[in-house]
Amino acid sequence: MGDWADVYGTARDIASLRDRYGLTSDNASVQAKFDQMMSVADALERNYNASTERVKNAEFLRARLNEVTTPQQKEDLQLRYQQELIEQQNQQMRLANMQMLQQQQEKMENEKRAQAFRDYMRGKTSVRPSYE
């Protein structure tokens, strides 16, 4: 089945993602945003591939349930089938959590920028905010 934990690990080599998606910039802050977007896209793609494989495994196990003859074989396959379903649910929860985390990070970044702008406009800082 493969190592499903890889789906949630660190994104593959950023250089290969840059080549794959063609997202590069001379501006460091823009490149950082590109890298973040590519890492998320890569994680989503790997999650999709892992989920697709889990569905195939579950379908195979379900089909095998009709072919086995002994109660022990049925029980073993049912346990494996249930395990696949549980893993699918876990992947869905991880994906939902990853999306919520990304949304929260974007919200915090927007709030940080808004606060920096308010501080600048109110004269609390002389450093003009930059949004590159």
- pLDDT above 90 (res 56): yes
Residue 114: band (very low, low, confident or very high) from pLDDT cuts 50, 70, 90: very high
The residue written with tokens 């690990």 in the block is 9
Say if 105 falls within a structural domain: yes
Amino acid identity for residue 58 in this structure:
A
Show Cβ contacts of residue 39 under 8 Å, excluding neighbours closer than 6 positions. 11, 14, 17
Domain that holds residue 36: 4-121
d(CA 62, CA 82) in angstroms, rounded, equals 10
Say if 9 falls within a structural domain: yes
Structure tokens at 41: 């896209």
Say if 89 falls within a structural domain: yes
Span 107-123, average pLDDT = 93
- pLDDT above 70 (res 43): yes
Say if 64 falls within a structural domain: yes
Count the Cβ atoms, other than its own, within 10 Å of residue 84: 21
Span 20-40, average pLDDT = 89
For residue 29, the number of C-alpha atoms closer than 13 Å in the C-beta half-sphere is 4
% the chain with pLDDT above 70: 90
Residue 12: band (very low, low, confident or very high) from pLDDT cuts 50, 70, 90: low
Say if 128 falls within a structural domain: no
The helix (run of H) or strand (run of E) holding residue 57 is helix 28-65
- pLDDT above 50 (res 17): yes
Span 21-49, average pLDDT = 89
d(CA 32, CA 131) in angstroms, rounded, equals 13
Distances (CA, A) of 119 to 104, 122, 124, 128, 131: 22, 5, 5, 9, 15
Say if 127 falls within a structural domain: no
Say if 126 falls within a structural domain: no
Say if 67 falls within a structural domain: yes
Distances (CA, A) of 62 to 53, 68, 78, 81, 84: 14, 11, 8, 7, 11
- pLDDT above 70 (res 109): yes
Q: How many domains would you assign to the chain?
A: 1
Span 81-109, average pLDDT = 91
